[in-house]
Amino acid sequence: MPIVPIPDLDDKRYADLVREAVASLAVRAPAWTDHNASDPGITLVELFAWLAEMQIYGLNCLTPDHYRTFLRLVGIRPVPAVPATVALTLSSTAGRELMIPRGTRLTAETGGEPLPFETTADLFLLNNRIAAVISAWGGGFRNVTDANARDAFFFPAFGEQPAPGGTLLIAFERMLPAGREVRLAIDLYEADLPPVGAHRGEPAAVVPPVDLVWEYSTEAGYRRLDLLEDGTTGLTRSGQILFSVPADMTATTSPYLPATVPAPRFPMIRCRLPEESTAVPLPSEGLSACRRAAARQGTGFYEIPPRIDSIRLNTVTARQAVSVVDENLVSSSGTDWGNGMPGQVVSLARRPAMEGSLRVRVLTGTDWEEWAERDNLDASGPTDRHFVLDPAVGTILFGDGRNGRVLPEGARVRADYLSGGGAAGNLRPLASWRFDDPLLADLAARNDASASGGRDAEPLEEAIARAPLELREVDRAITSDDFEYLALNTPGLRVARARALPLWEPEAPEDRPVPATVTVVVVPWSFTPRPYPGPRFLRAVCDHLDRHRLVTTRVRVIPPLYAQVTVRTRVSAGEGVRPEELRARVAERLLEFLHPLKGGEDGTGWPFGRGVYRSEIIAAIREVSGVECVLETTLSGDTCTRVDGEGNLMIDRDALVYSERHEVDVTARSGRCTVTY
């Protein structure tokens, strides 16, 4: 259904126009009395009626160009084709070490039409392997070399609870060539995580949650290793790191490696957490002891500790696209030069062309001039060197002298662009690959994971259908719901919950509203019972909200205040129920019910600022299979809770409850239920 009803402008036919014109003659030309078809004047009336009918018909016709223009007016464009990308691990059957430059072409044999791919970065192929991978934390360590080599296992980079000094050590079988740039692919296990936030195609401006320290082994110990690239963003996503091998890198031993005689020596690099975490900054005054203690509970490291699926050498990313350089373009008439006529069209040899990749140069005389791409030529002047690309069919339209400059007579056109994209490039793992260059015949490529991200160009009809949905999406933070929606959809982050509190700040007295201020409490997605956002996480959410707030609104983003709750309860077991099993089930139910992300009555997280009532705790315990009767229940909390006269626990408006342990006493079946309140 369209947002606004579209009127039918073509509501008059030829006969209607003639009849209305003849009927008006009695008023406009009373002396004209011969209205027969033989009258020359009536012939002119019929001629102009025919012309008017054609004009009215054109008014009612909307071409695809019209629809594209209307969509651009509201900031919507059909999504172009996107190429699939894949991580390829390379090896040489001859044991060669060589540079594989960016743009090296490979072909994927799919059983149908071969698909061209090309590498997106330089890779120096090493005749080397990873000898060992060690994860160390808190004085302990774990040799995860086998887990790294096997597909069905993953391992924590710094332990389940990252702490200062946590280390990931990577040892290589042979010395790395000094001065060479080495690329290391690190894939994280994220299959059980929710998708990251996204909002209207905005880029994810995510910074590393912690400044990891990379080091390399020398005779004198470890020295700092500066990364040239960090595609993992501090081990928060799968990607590649790139470093240059220092000249003083040497093989050394490690207490984490198996003890043998002689002790094994390997060249190593390691990644470790800094000795001090980054704490959430606190105001100098105005906060209670409870809030200060709660703020110090955040580690400042990771909201979701990194879990590594694999670390691989000799791995490079390839995309399902082909680079075309200095292609001489041919016009629709088959010539490779301009004819000086308005609205000339030239064609690309490969299609589709990826949007944003096209570079056009025109030779006029002895100089090559750069021409700029535009969505259309409506705003282009007679001398503007502009053109319009149709990526699907691979044609380039030049100006007509009124909108855009005419392609001069005799001018030659050259183009650089990327061609490819589409869902066909989403290959399955372990596809069949071959290098196009015969000099690389001894190289083999292997994709352990699927190629992904390939997408066909969006049809115009789908973009039109998508437009009403996007226009309804929240883009301006006005109400509390708007702030919460935008916070939950911060690009690149996994925000589990958000609560907007207008006219309030934690430092202000409860009875004094803070004008023009909205405080947003955010909770990150996490496996821990008390998810706590780090300062850079909070900054990323705040920056996103800042782009969408009203200019008169001040926005603050803060972590939640956590209040610990402990339940002490005594229940009687039903007939045939084992007390130890019932005790475990009741404790598990309480941990789940008092959870900030999956607690509460609806299982979506404990409500912000809502107290804990004994009656609902008793009701939750009664739901446990095997409980005959809840005999006694008391609640206790930390300093962030307040006890009312009936033994219920009250919390602040920005607080959530959590629990770590509960005391459950199970007695034998009593035969009658006497409850102590």
**The CATH number of the domain where 267 resides is what?**
2.60.120
Amino acid 561: pLDDT: 94
Check whether residue 494 and residue 390 sit in a common domain: no
Give the CA distances from residue 316 to residues 103, 155, 190, 243, 494, in Å, rounded to whole numbers and listed in that order.
11, 23, 20, 14, 27
Amino acid 356: pLDDT: 87
Instruction: Assign 48 to helix, strand or coil.
Output: helix
pLDDT along the chain (677 residues), means of 10: 60 89 91 90 92 83 84 90 96 95 94 92 96 88 92 89 90 95 96 94 87 95 96 95 96 78 82 75 58 60 93 97 93 78 92 91 90 92 94 91 93 94 94 95 95 94 93 94 98 97 91 94 94 93 96 95 96 91 96 96 95 96 93 93 93 95 87 56
Instruction: Identify the domain containing residue 508 by its residue range.
Output: 474-558
Amino acid 677: pLDDT: 43
**Residue 498: what residue type?**
A
Check whether residue 600 and residue 577 sit in a common domain: yes
Check whether residue 197 and residue 106 sit in a common domain: no
CA dist., res. 646 & res. 618, Å (int): 14
CA dist., res. 50 & res. 59, Å (int): 15
The helix (H) or strand (E) run that includes residue 130 is strand 130-137
100 located within any domain:
yes
Check whether residue 292 and residue 353 sit in a common domain: no
**How many Cα neighbours within 13 Å face the side chain of 304?**
22
Amino acid 1: pLDDT: 43
Extract the tokens encoding 264. Answer: 């094994």
Amino acid 144: pLDDT: 93
Check whether residue 202 and residue 93 sit in a common domain: no
Check whether residue 41 and residue 144 sit in a common domain: no
Which of 117, 365, 163 minimizes the C-alpha distance to 273?
A: 163
DSSP state of 276: S
Check whether residue 403 and residue 337 sit in a common domain: yes
Total of domains in the chain: 6
Amino acid 277: pLDDT: 61
Sheet with 517-524: strands ordered across? 495-502, 517-524, 554-558
Extract the tokens encoding 622. Answer: 């009664």
80 located within any domain:
no
Residue at which a domain ends, from 313, 337, 364:
313
301 located within any domain:
yes
